[in-house]
Amino acid sequence: MMAMNGTAKIELRGVKKRFGPKTVLDGIDLTVNAGDSLVIIGGSGSGKSVTIKCVLGILHPDAGTIIVDGEEVTRLSGRRRDAFLAKFGMLFQGGALFDSLPVWENVAFGLIQGRGISRAQAQRVALEKLAKVGLGPEVADLSPAELSGGMQKRVGLARAIASDPQIIFFDEPTTGLDPIMADVINHLIASTVRELGVTAVSITHDMASARKISNRIAMLYKGKIIWEGATKDVDNSGNPYVEQFIHGSAEGPIKMEVRR
């Protein structure tokens, strides 16, 4: 399944979302082309997670349109929503593994519940996907609570790719990991995206990770995309906000809002 580069896979137009009096997304315009690996950077609470959850339909935007594969998706329901969600895989920040199920059933969950594949066959696929993320069959019967943080992320990644998605979302893939494990996960994400030919959207505030896994970067600030460009251009963006963020400096146009 090789993606065609250059055609728009995901398009957000004027997406707005408010929680009570707080405006989180204030008109997001963003296009992700097929085969791209886009990283959305931005400070904590800048609306990165909300953006992804709006695309998935977990949250409903107050205004604006979201188009995936040429289809408006903000008001999908029933079978069409199931078909739409089947295109996606997602790696959650904390892994979000189901602690009542063993590792292999976590990986096979979308296959067994979502697609009705037999358990035996789903288990074979699960072991295959676990091997892809560098985990042997010995972890398959463990419970997620018995795994280290890095291993949980790998299982989460295996679950995200288990049903061969066209689009994968990575939510803070390296948060909470030591630098070496973070690098291992970065390599894993980069190679997975390359090998599967998927479209990837990641959100992170870890610049080392962003550089490694992306070919495009967009920066989110106060609910708007304030810069977007190729990853190699991020050091010459000429945008003071981006400059401050990638150098991790307290001095600059972005003032930390103490009151949240």
Partner 1 sequence: MNIFAAIGRVVLAFLATTGRLAIFTAEGVSHTLRPPIYWKLIVQQILRIGYFSLPVVGLTAFFTGAVLCLQIYIGGNRFGSEAIVPQIVVLGITRELGPVIAGLMVAGRVSAAIAAEIGTMRVTEQIDALTTLSTNPVKYLVTPRLIAALISMPILVAIADAIGVFGGYIVATQSLNFNGAVYLKNTHDYVTNGDVQSGLIKAAVFGFIIALMGCYNGFNSKGGAQGVGAATTNAVVSASILILAANYILTSVFFTK
Region near partner 1 per CB under 8 A, out of 112-120, 135-143, 206-214, 240-248: 112-120
What x/- string results for residues 151 through 170 when contact with partner 1 is judged by CB under 8 A? --------x---x-------
The secondary structure element, H or E, covering residue 156 is helix 149-161
Alpha-carbon distance 243 to 208, whole Å? Answer: 14
Task: Give the start-end residues of each E strand in the chain.
Answer: 8-19, 22-33, 37-41, 63-68, 71-72, 88-91, 167-171, 199-204, 216-221, 224-230
Neighbours of 63 (CB within 10 A): 13
Q: Which of 22, 98, 118, 252 binds partner 1 (CB under 8 A)?
A: 98
Q: Which one, 98 or 240, has the nearer CB to partner 1?
A: 98
Count residues near partner 1 (CB under 8 A). 25
48: contact with partner 1 by CB under 8 A = no
Which residues have C-beta within 8 Å of that of residue 66, sequence separation ≥ 6? 10, 11, 12, 13, 15, 54, 55, 72, 73, 74
Q: Which of 34, 88, 193, 216 binds partner 1 (CB under 8 A)?
A: 88
Q: Which of 92, 104, 221, 227 binds partner 1 (CB under 8 A)?
A: 92
Alpha-carbon distance 32 to 161, whole Å? Answer: 19
104: contact with partner 1 by CB under 8 A = no
Q: Which of 25, 40, 54, 90 binds partner 1 (CB under 8 A)?
A: 90
Task: Give the binding site for partner 1 (CB under 8 A).
Answer: 53, 56-58, 82, 85-86, 88-90, 92-94, 96-99, 109-110, 113-116, 159, 163
